[in-house]
Amino acid sequence: MAMSRDDIFNQVREVLVDALGLDDGDVTEDATLMGDLGAESIDFLDIVFRLEKAFNIKVPREELFPAEAVMNNPEYVSGGKVTAKGLAELKSRMPHTNFSEFEKNPDVNKIADLFTVGAIVNFIEGKLK
């Protein structure tokens, strides 16, 4: 039987609680991994490994967290802002992510805010279809 979005969320929450040492209540759909939940770069890899195990799927890191490749490309980032081309690239690589806030001010330092709990749940939902 296919997992409901709630089931997926609950399992993602468990992964994040274990990986980042959080309480259940910290993990909400809107919480950002770095800003709100305190994840650092190595935690992203830890989360990827745990998601693979929890859902029995393959998660290429650049699919779930592709921002690094975009940020290192001068065509995509200019003057501390993500360019229109960069934004299009991010959107195509991160279809599971909500860009509406980010588009208003595509500050490169705000890329981290795109990685929310909800985005991970969307990503897993897409993978399990």
Partner 1 sequence: MSAPADRLYEIDVMRWIWIDKFLEFESGKRAVALKNVTLAEEHLHDHFPGFPIMPECLMIEAMAQTAGILVGEARQFKEKVILAKIKNAVFYHYVQPGDTITLHAEIESIAPEAASTTGQIKRGDTLIAQISMMFSHVDKNLAGKHFPEENFVFTDMFNSLLSGFVDQKNAGGKN
CA distances from 47 to 5, 72, 112, 126 (A): 19, 22, 15, 17
CB of 31 to partner 1, least distance (A): 20
CA 30 to mean position of chain CA atoms: 11
Beta bridge partners of 107: 81
Of 41 and 105, the one with the shorter C-beta distance to partner 1 is 41
**Nearest C-alpha neighbor of 97 from the set 68, 75, 64:** 64
CB of 87 to partner 1, least distance (A): 20
Helix axes 5-20, 117-128, angle to 10 degrees: 130
Of 12 and 48, the one with the shorter C-beta distance to partner 1 is 48
CB of 42 to partner 1, least distance (A): 4
Of 46 and 113, the one with the shorter C-beta distance to partner 1 is 46
Of 29 and 43, the one with the shorter C-beta distance to partner 1 is 43
CB of 21 to partner 1, least distance (A): 9
- Give contact residues for partner 1 (rule: CB under 8 A): 19, 41-43, 45-46, 48-49, 52-53, 61, 68, 71-72
Q: Which two tokens stand for residue 29?
A: 């759909």
Beta bridge partners of 77: 82
